[in-house]
């Protein structure tokens, strides 16, 4: 798969989780890529202790830049 197609696939996975009401809560970097953890938020946008969590392994450099930008937007 080309690098651009890898970026599109990883970006679509991130966007799907964001659209489903998840927020990025943690990032763990390793040699294989970045493990990005997402946690579901309630209707008020508050992270709940018992909300569902999921994670994605992001390996494409452009996709890493993309989720970094989303994290910055979430903090504002």
Contact 34, 64 (CB under 8 A): yes
**pLDDT recorded at residue 53:** 86
pLDDT at 33 over 90: yes
Could you give the number of structural domains in the chain? 1
Question: What is the spatial distance between Cα 27 and Cα 36, in angstroms, rounded to a whole number?
Answer: 5
For 59, the domain range is: 3-75
What percentage of the chain reaches a pLDDT higher than 90?
71
Question: Encoding tokens for residue 17?
Answer: 């989780």
Considering the entire predicted model, what is its pTM? 0.85
- Please state, in angstroms and as integers, the Cα–Cα distance from residue 75 to each residue in 19, 37, 45, 63, 72, following that order: 17, 16, 12, 19, 5
Quickly state the pLDDT bin for 47 (edges 50, 70, 90).
low
Percentage of the chain surpassing pLDDT 70?
Answer: 88
């Amino acid at each position: 798969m080309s690098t651009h197609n890898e970026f599109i696939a990883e970006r679509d996975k991130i966007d799907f989780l964001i659209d489903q009401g998840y927020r990025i809560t943690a990032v763990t970097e390793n040699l294989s890529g970045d493990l990005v953890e997402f946690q579901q938020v309630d209707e008020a946008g508050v992270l709940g202790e018992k909300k569902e969590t999921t994670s994605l392994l992001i390996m494409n450099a452009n996709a890493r830049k993309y989720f970094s930008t989303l994290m910055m937007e979430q903090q504002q």
